[in-house]
Structures are given as C-alpha cells and as structure tokens.
Structure 1
Amino acid sequence: MQFIDRTRVIVKAGDGGHGKSAFRREKFVPKGGPAGGDGGRGGDIIFVVDPNSNTLLDFRYHRKFQAKNGENGDIKNQYGANAPACYVKVPAGTVVRDEDTGELLADLTEIGQEAVICRGGRGGRGNAKFANAANRAPTFAEFGEPGEARNLILELKLLADVGLVGYPSVGKSSLVASCSAARPEIAEYHFTTITPVLGVVKTDYEKSFVMADIPGLIEGAAEGVGLGHDFLRHVERTKLILHLVDASGLEGRDPVDDYHTINAELRKYSEKIARRTQILVANKIDLPEARANLPRLQKLADEEGLKFFAISAATHQGVPELIRYVGEWLDQYVEEPETEEEVKVYDENKEDPEKVTISRDIRGDFVVSGKALEKLVAMTNFLNDEAVRRFQYIWRIKGIDSKLKEKGIREGDTVHIGDMEFEYRE
C-alpha cells in the first residue's frame, strides 16, 4: 500500500434550512396568526480517528467533503430536520491545519478522538418567530445561515515510541527487520527506504514498542533538501531517538562528522526534537574497518552524555542488548507536558461577532466586514419589503451609516457586504 503523509482537502459544512413564511388557514380560525416554522441546522464536518486507517492515501482520490443542508421549515410551525454530521475518517497522528491561515485546528492522536472542523449553519427562523406586539403578522422569514467552508492541509505524523535517524545506508532498515516482523526493502543504494516503516518490537512476553524507520536524512534536510521536511515530520512524535552511524565508514563519510551533521539538521528543524533523548548506535561492527572508529564513537558518546551501543544489524550482534535497554527506558518514560503549540479547541466566539470593520478595495469601493453583519446579509430575503426594513433598522442600530461617513463615503458610492453589493443613498 502506498504511504501518503500530506494532502490537501476542501470541506464545507451544511447550510441551515430556510425559515417558512406562512399563516394559519383553518376554516374556523379567522385572521390566523403567523405559523411558519424554522429551518433545520446544517450538518457539521467532524474529523474522527479511525483504527483501520494508517495513511492519507484515500484523500488523494476524495478531496472534497460536504455535509448536507438542514431541511426548510414548513407550515403549521413545523420545524425542518437538522442535517446529520459528515464524519471524515483519518489515521491516528493526523494534524489538521487551515491552509489559508496556517492555524492548527486539530491534533488527532487517540482512536475515536473527534474534532469539529466546520460548523453547520443554523436554520433560518420562520415568520412566527418575528411576531410581536407591534407587528402581529410578519410576512418575512430568514434564509438559513451558510455553513462554514475551509481549505485544509492534513499531515500525518507517525505515532512511534522510537525513531531511527541517520544518513542513508547506515542500516536503519536492517535494524528494524532484525528485531521486528516488519520487512522494509533493503538494498545497497541510497534512499532504498523512501517512506517511513513501522515495526513492532517485542521486549518480552507481554511488552512491546513501536519503532519507526525514518528514511535517511542528508545535509540540508531542514531546508527541505531531498525529502527533508517530509522525513523530519515523523521524528516529532517519537519518545526516543536511536541515532545510527556507519562505524565502518565504507561510504566515504566519517561517522563522527555524520553524527554532528544530522543533529545540526534536527536543531534547524525543531529545538524540541533536538532536545529529545538520543542513543548513539554504531552499526556494521562486523566489518573490519569499524574497529578503528569504535573508540572515537565511544568518546563522542561520553562527551555528549549519550548511551552508546555497538551492533551489527546483519549478524544480530549487540541487538538484543540494545532492544532490552530501550524497553527498560520506555517503561520509565514520563510524557513531557505539551508546550509547543496550543491546539485549537473549536471556539465559534473566538472573534467578537459584533465587530464591524470598513475598508476600501482596489477599485475604491467600500467593504463592510463583520461576522454578525455578513451573517445577517446572507439570511435576509431582500425581495421582501418587511425583511429589507428589518435589515435597515439593524443597520442603523449598529451605526454603520456613521462609520461609513467617517471613512468619507459619498452618495452613489458602492458598498460590499459579503456577497451583496449596493449603491449608497442617504
């Protein structure tokens, strides 16, 4: 199965159903009052973690998700039905961001965890809701509120206990294959592994941990050289890093220099990753050329304060001791408090909905922006005189006229609010 760990999707919550304008017409009820029902609420877009999913591959073929609209209100005060939510299944470890703002909307790590990404619009009110002492027979009803829409970026960060980092061909895939049931491709050329591989490593009869074979890093990875950013993303979730170096140096590189280069890339990408506990692992000690480098690597580990293991993934030498130590370390691991970036808990009142701003576009037209006002425009039936009068009343109450005059508006200037455009008249 192909591994996809970053994709773009478009989501649109359902619109609210329209309110109904109707009156009672029973035979023996003269002058029956307004009886138009409210519209139903549009469906939300909800992301949920699916235990049967481990890649974002499905989103390559299905990029748009739209919830159903609420039903319209009806006569005799009948309310329209609310639309069901649209559930979008994602694998554990999925990060959801708004493509336009870069805002982190959800970080989904637990099976069954849900996050509301877009709210459905509320249903429009029927004319029965607008009856009062001054107007006992209103003829207007509201349209449904439009549902929210977003362009999203989905990123999958592997949920592994242990991550393997190092230059290409240092033996990361061989180590995963030697201690787990995973069977990554292993060959004598660089970048044999081009997608992360997860292996479940058993330490004893009951305990196990997940090891991630992160494709090889190279110098410049933090700036995106090669597939740098795509690879480094998966190191973020790991609890422990096994830093593999080729003790033999047969690739023409010095293992000590390799260690410093890779750590420099980790620091450039994320200080949080750079602070994560590392174990220095010298691989390929079965080769004669490795003997000269082992004392230097032991000295490096002592200077850096790292635990050091010398192994041969090919012959399994030293691997059981390494796995045993990693298992013991994970048993004693205490999760660090998350301080990096606060995950958004959905808050529809994040911005003051009553706030109104006025600006000018490139043509010099006036653009009136405000969440509540734009919602009012979308829900007003401008073909109904009573609805227009109500809109004008709210317009005056909010002081939009005076704000436009402060900005220098003149008779005949064009004003935009949401999708509506009109000519200004005193």
Structure 2
Amino acid sequence: MSSKKIRLGFIGAGAFISARHLKTAGETPYMEIRAIADLDRERLAEHQKKYQIGYVTDDYRKLLADPEIDLIVIGTKQDTHARLIIESLNAGKWVWCEKPMCETREEEAAILEAEKNAAGRLAIGFNRRFAPAILKIRQVLTKLPRPWIISYRLQSANSYNKSSRNSFYHGRPHIIYEGCHILDLAAFLMESQPERVFMSGTDDENDIVTMEYPDGSRFVLVITTRAGGIGLEKEMMEVFTPGGAMSLRDFVELRIRGIEGEHDHLFEPQRCPFGKEVLRWGLDFWQRLCNRLVWEDIPVNKGLVPIRLAPEEQPFSEEIEQIAAPYAGLDWRERNFECDKGWIGAFRHFAEAFMNQTQPATADGMAGKMANDLGFALLESKKTGMPVNFQKYQTAASAPEAGF
C-alpha cells in the first residue's frame, strides 16, 4: 500500500456505526480514528475510553477543515446525508455514507454534481456486494444462461418498528430505508436496469416487489415490516436459471444444485469465535447457537419464541451448552455474533482504495441513485396499483418530495 495508515473522521457515532465501522477501524492496523463528531457527549466519552482517538467534538465542520483526515464516515440520520456528503466532497475528502444516499431526486442530482467535481471518492454503504456468499453467487451466475429468476426475502418482524410517532422512521418507507440494500443487490447481480417495476402491499408495509428485465429475468422481493419472526433468518435468496439453481440462507449456507463443477458452501460468521464449528455443523447449529446465546434474552412479547424441539430431537445440545457456559452473565452485546453481510470487507476495501489511490469497487453515487430511483418508482407503483415503466420514470421531470 502506498500509505501506511488512513485517518478517519466519523460524523455520527450511534449504535450502528459503533457496532460496525468504528469497531472495524479499531481492529484494523492501517486505520487511525482521527476524530469523532457527535451531539451525544456521553457517547463521545465512551468512545474515548474504548479507542485511541485524536479528538472528539460536537461540531462536524472541524473534521471537514482538518487536513489530517483522509476519509469521512457519515452515520447520521438519513435526512442529513445529502448535505454532509456534498460538504465532505467539497472539502476534498473521501466519503463513506450509510444508506440510503439521500431522500429526494433533487438531492441525487446535487450529490452527483459534487461527486463529479470532487478529488475524493464516494461510497454508499451497500455492504452486501462484499458478502462472501453474494460474491460466490455472482461468480457462478456469470457462467449461467439467462433469464434468471431471483427471489429474495427480507423479513424484519418488529425490528423495523415505526409505530411510535416520535421515531425518525415514522412515515418513511421501509423500501427506501432498508429495502434499498436489496434494490442495490438486484442491480449488482443483474447488471442491468429493469424495464418495469411493480409493488403491492399493505399500509403497514408488508410488500411484494417484482422487477422485470429486458431478457425475461425477474427479481422478486418479499419485504415485511410487521410480519415475521426473530428466530427465522432475516434474509434468504433463491436463484433459478436454465443452468441450475442456488439457495442462500442467512449468508451462512449456500446450496448449489445442477451446476457442473460447483458445490455447496458454508460461510463463517464475522467476529465469531465459533466459526470452525459453524463450518463443521452448518446453518442449524448457527441458528441454535444464536438462539441460546442472544435470542433467549428477547422477551416473547417482542416477537421471540425460542427454537424448540423435543429433547430427543434437539441437535447439538451438549456442544451448545459447553459453548454457552463461559458467556453466562455477560452483556448480550458480548454474545452477539453476526453472519457476514460484507460490512468489514466493504469498509476495508474502500480504505485500501484510498491508500493505493485506486478506483474502489464499492457502490458510488450512481449506484446510490439507482437504488433510490427503484424505490421511488416502486412507491409510485404501490400508490397507483399499476406497474411503472422504470426507464421512462427515471427520465421524468417530476420527483418525489422529501418525506415521500
């Protein structure tokens, strides 16, 4: 690498950023946390105790003016993303921003203009592009004939709960604020734009999406907001082609059928000390381990009923109890292991691209715009009850207002 270290400045350091990118920065030898800007002073104090940080502040503009910061990480609420992206790019920084990129098509245009004129690069946090399981699926797809039928399920149960009017997400559509991950994934896998898109569903956003492509391929997404169960894997994907099929569950188990030269795969969870056991015993072991270590702390009234089988049918009982014993009494965050959705890989790749001064393969401003535009078109379809010609929609002069 051309530089020894990359110096990071974090604008916003809430729960997600703290659990993902700050943690990755703290674990990565070539990353230095130069500064954190946040309005929560207690949170800043906690991070100062945990990490070696140059300084903390409640004024993000100090980070933009700091010549010692190479990369800005934006983890604030989504209604500030566009402004902070533009200011950071104009300050000459490389910029990582969490999803979605912005909230309106006017903001999209302003971001793309800033990106075009910037010395730095912009990455939107569509991490699934870097999940090992997704990369394997994409590699296999390159040798399979089209059309492809891809079916994806994103079930959030109560984890995306907008019932409170005090919640930032109240009134903001799930298909934009979380579904954008899967819309970007569709673009990444299909490598083309759909001709028509359609979404139907309920007022509480249990929706079904169909995207139709020129070659006859289809991408179908079932996305739930108030339906599902915590103990079931949040995400599942199935791929059907004239040359074979694939099935991915929880980014851990990939089954490949009917494709010459290919075989099934298991993928190790990230930051999990029991990765070898997962690779040995598979998805069932992984889910029951999570149930034992973390999920059983979640009250049933929040949607969890523990995974139960008759004692004589319960696999891995002794192994899981041996693993769980040392974790008794620890905070749940110290027992929370996650499947590898590409968070670490994507973030490190972008940092390494800066250090090597190479073009990153992360999602850029155009990818952020594509995911947003698909979401906007799907909302229009749901509103009218009719399919939307996506290519015409993209070139239309009218655009949704902020707040949708």
TM interval, short-chain normalised: under 0.3
TM (norm. structure 1) is 0.19
Greater Rg by CA: 1
Structure that is richer in helix per residue: 2
Relative contact order (C-alpha < 8 Å, sep 6+): which is higher?
2
